[in-house]
Amino acid sequence: MSASVTALRPAATATEPLRRFLQVARGAGLRVSAAEGIDAARAVDIVGYADRAILKDTLGLILAKTPEEKDIYEEAFDLYFKRDEFAAKDDEDEQRGPGERAGPGQNQQGGEGMGGSGGQSLGQLLESDDRVAMATAMEAAAREAGIENIRFFTQKNLYARRILDRMGLRQVERDIEALRQTGTPEGLGRGQFLEGKVDQLRDSVRDFVERNLILFAKGETEKFREELLKSARLSNLERRDMDRMRVLVRQMAKKLAARYAKTRRRRLRGQLDIRRTMRRNMGWGGIPFITVWKQKRIEKPRVMVLCDVSGSVSAMSQFLLMFLYALNEALKDIRSFAFAGSLIEVSEILEREPVEQAITKIMELIGFGSSNYGNSLADFADGWMKHVTNKTTVIILGDARGNRTDPRTEIMSELSSRSKRIIWLNPEFRSAWGTGDSDMYRYAPFCNLVTVCNTLRHLERAISDILEDAT
């Protein structure tokens, strides 16, 4: 505890390990801004490195800002500060006693440029079996080799080789060769001993590189994968990507919501509402003690979503619903309907339960029957047409393939005249529209917008349009 109140250390000694940790944290997926980096440095100045638990709590306050980030942070912290570099340092600190306790940054200087610790050659190091010195040397060599730039697992061998080279493996190999050439039993014995040590060293370096790969590259690979997912066709997604998709959808929705979340009323400062001011101040004989300012109402869009949940379209529907419900803040009244052969309202199920479970429940309710658009539209007209007002945006998601049933376009026509607008999202490519049993072109005239929508990016764009027009 005493270390936490010792006076400020010079910042220079403290920043190096912290700077590398910030890099690790960013790599692990935390968004650490420059300002937060500075805060972290100031915080470390105050608490110091001595007490790991306090350091962990402290940096956690500054670097991780959501429960998910806290988890990531804790993992990264443990990985980073449990590495040999720091373990070794603690040992040294204890050996030296408290008087000479040095900031972790200082110790590294010995190793730099030499590729070895304290001027010892790799051969000497191997023979002395000094694990601490070895770890320090490895750490220094790794820094020279630029280990923090490792991004892909294919680079593992490359970096392992570089580190070994920098530690002076070539020289040791030459030494072994020379020992073998001597032919004396003593020389051969030493050669073999060294060879065994070199093998051990190789293993530990490989291990070391692997740990660093996890540390530095995790965020990169995930970013890469996410980019891929955003433009992948949703019907082709694999099960294992679902979790990640859910997170992505939530992120995108949050971004959109933040952009469009507006208060419903906005004061027009400086414009007096004379009529209402007079009214409010009648009691004072018209002297305007209380002023009333003009206000503007901003409507949040009301949305009705009709989702085809038959067969291939269901994957898309699931994401659309997920998206909309994540957007709750920016939207008012979302009412959702699912249809295949017939149509039911599912808003309540979706509100009550997490979307994934809700979707399975909906599937159970109306199942995978073959879709009948005419019938479903008629159901909608019977039950809910009266709720459609000129403020309602109707989104229909489906492939418009009604299995050659009557498309009932007259209902669409009524819907289009009652509603603010109709947007049709079709997961099929444009070239497939109108082929076979597709009634897309028969519905299209009644829609304000018909668009292909089969990836997350499409979905984001479509929803962003909906929000934009509403303001």
Partner 1 sequence: MNDVLPMGQSPLLSIAEVDAGLGAAGYISNSQISTAIYMAHHLQKPILVEGPAGVGKTELAKSVATWMKLPLIRMQCYEGLDESKALYEWKYGKQLLYTQILKDKIGSVISDTDNLAEALNKLHDFGDIFFSKNFLEPRPLLRALEEPGGAVLLIDEIDKSDQEFEAFLLEILSDFQVTIPEIGTVSAITPPIVLLTSNSTRDLGDALKRRCLHLHIGFPDEKLEARIIASRVPGIDARLLKQLVSFVQQLRGMDLKKLPSVSETIDWAKVMVLMHTSVLEVDLVRDTLNVLLKFEADIEAANKQIAGLTHKARQDAGIAA
The CB-of-101 to partner 1 minimum distance in angstroms stands at 18
Q: Which is closer to partner 1, CB of 74 or CB of 199?
A: 74
The CB-of-358 to partner 1 minimum distance in angstroms stands at 15
The CB-of-388 to partner 1 minimum distance in angstroms stands at 28
Residues 6+ apart with CB under 8 A from 397: 305, 306, 307, 308, 313, 316, 317, 320, 424, 425, 426, 427, 453
Tell me which residues touch partner 1 (CB under 8 A): 1, 4-5, 8, 31, 33, 35-36, 39, 42-43, 46-47, 53-54, 57-58, 60-62, 64-67, 70, 254, 258, 261, 263, 265, 267, 287-291, 329
Report the interhelical angle of 11-27 vs 67-81 (nearest 10°): 120
3 state DSSP class of 357: helix
* Alpha-carbon distances, residue 419 vs 83, 103, 153, 289, 385 (angstroms): 62, 69, 54, 44, 9
Give start and end residues of each alpha helix (H) in 300-391.
313-326, 347-352, 355-366, 373-384
Per the CB < 8 A criterion, the answer to whether 219 and 24 are in contact is no
The CB-of-69 to partner 1 minimum distance in angstroms stands at 8
Q: Which is closer to partner 1, CB of 31 or CB of 170?
A: 31
The two structure tokens encoding residue 9:
């250390």
Q: Which is closer to partner 1, CB of 7 or CB of 95?
A: 7
Q: Which is closer to partner 1, CB of 25 or CB of 397?
A: 25
Q: How far apart are CA 230 and CA 202, in angstroms?
A: 40
Per the CB < 8 A criterion, the answer to whether 427 and 453 are in contact is yes
Q: How far apart are CA 303 and CA 335, in angstroms?
A: 6
SS in 3 state form for 41-85? HHHHHHHCCCCHHHHHHHHHHHHCCCHHHHHHHHHHHHHHHCCHH
Q: Which is closer to partner 1, CB of 47 or CB of 87?
A: 47
Q: How far apart are CA 381 and CA 283, in angstroms?
A: 52
The two structure tokens encoding residue 300:
């949040």
Q: Which is closer to partner 1, CB of 293 or CB of 429?
A: 293
The CB-of-76 to partner 1 minimum distance in angstroms stands at 16
Q: Which is closer to partner 1, CB of 70 or CB of 131?
A: 70
Q: Which is closer to partner 1, CB of 239 or CB of 265?
A: 265
